[in-house]
């Protein structure tokens, strides 16, 4: 759940009309996502900043956190919340680990919890716009950039399985050259929004310092 919550601040401002345009992964790559998929094709490591906001109906102001992230192909995602508290979340194909204020508070193995592997696949696919993986778990919708939105595209996701639908009912992903925002909306209307900023691409394989982030 934490992983899926983390995926949500990218479509708050996205128009709901995207769900009027059903599509599939192959079509998305040749239409809506042509430019961003080319931009990501050779990237082995992505690093940047994030703002994560939780909008709850019973709370007037969103709960907001900020920090930095590192995505490395074949390794996973390192998610470091810096404000309002220090927390590190590491997601790999093998499982997930969370450390709050330096102390381990969560450890789940994908071998023991198969759902963890499914969540990892979904989350990692978002960083590389791996629509084939996303299409296996979601119905896809796509809206290409318009004259008014400049280079901004929007992709909508609706879960195919009840297990994922229990966590969120729809997701909106938007961006330009990169994924810039993800918004998840649950059945109660609460939204999780993740904004990604200052993204740096590296084409070289992860160095020793980057690999050290993923040691479990």
Q: What is the pLDDT of residues 89-145, one digit of tens each?
A: 999 989 999 999 989 999 999 888 887 888 888 888 888 888 888 998 899 999 877
pLDDT digits (tens, 9 = 90+) for 16-63: 689 999 999 999 999 889 888 888 888 999 999 999 999 998 888 999
Tell me the domain boundaries of the chain: 2-202
Return the C-alpha torsion angle 53, 55, 61, 64, nearest 10. -10
Say if residue 138 is exposed, middle or buried (CB neighbours under 10 Å; 0-12, 13-18, 19+). buried
What are the tens digits of pLDDT across the range 163-210? 777 878 899 999 988 899 999 998 888 999 999 999 999 999 999 999
* Confidence at residue 148, expressed as pLDDT on a 0 to 100 scale: 62
pLDDT number for residue 66: 98
CA atoms within 13 A on the CB side of 89: 17
Produce one character per residue of 169-185: b if its CB has 16 or more CB atoms within 10 Å, e if not: bbbbbbbeebbbbbbbb
* Three-state secondary structure call for residue 16: helix
Strands 87-92 and 76-83: antiparallel
CATH of domain 2-202: 2.50.20.10
Q: Are 52 and 81 in contact (CB under 8 A)?
A: yes
Which pLDDT score is estimated for 120? Answer: 85
């Amino acid at each position: 759940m934490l992983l899926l919550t983390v995926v949500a601040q990218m479509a708050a401002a996205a128009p709901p009309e995207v769900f009027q345009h059903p599509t599939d992964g192959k079509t998305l790559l040749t239409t809506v996502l042509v430019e961003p998929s080319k931009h990501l094709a050779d990237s082995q490591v992505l690093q940047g900043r994030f703002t994560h906001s939780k909008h709850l109906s019973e709370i007037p102001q969103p709960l907001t956190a900020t920090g930095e992230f590192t995505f490395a192909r074949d390794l996973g995602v390192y998610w470091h919340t810096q404000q309002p508290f220090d927390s590190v979340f590491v997601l790999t194909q093998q499982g997930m680990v969370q450390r709050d204020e330096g102390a381990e508070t969560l450890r789940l193995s994908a071998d023991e919890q198969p759902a963890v592997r499914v969540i990892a696949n979904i989350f990692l696919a978002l960083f590389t716009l791996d629509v084939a993986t996303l299409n296996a778990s979601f119905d896809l919708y796509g809206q290409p950039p318009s004259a008014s939105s400049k280079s901004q595209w929007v992709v909508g996701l609706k879960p195919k399985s009840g297990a994922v639908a229990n966590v969120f009912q729809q997701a909106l992903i938007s961006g330009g050259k990169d994924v810039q925002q993800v918004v998840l909306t649950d059945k109660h209307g609460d939204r999780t929004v993740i904004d990604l900023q200052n993204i740096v691409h590296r084409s070289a394989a992860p160095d020793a310092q980057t690999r050290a982030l993923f040691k479990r």
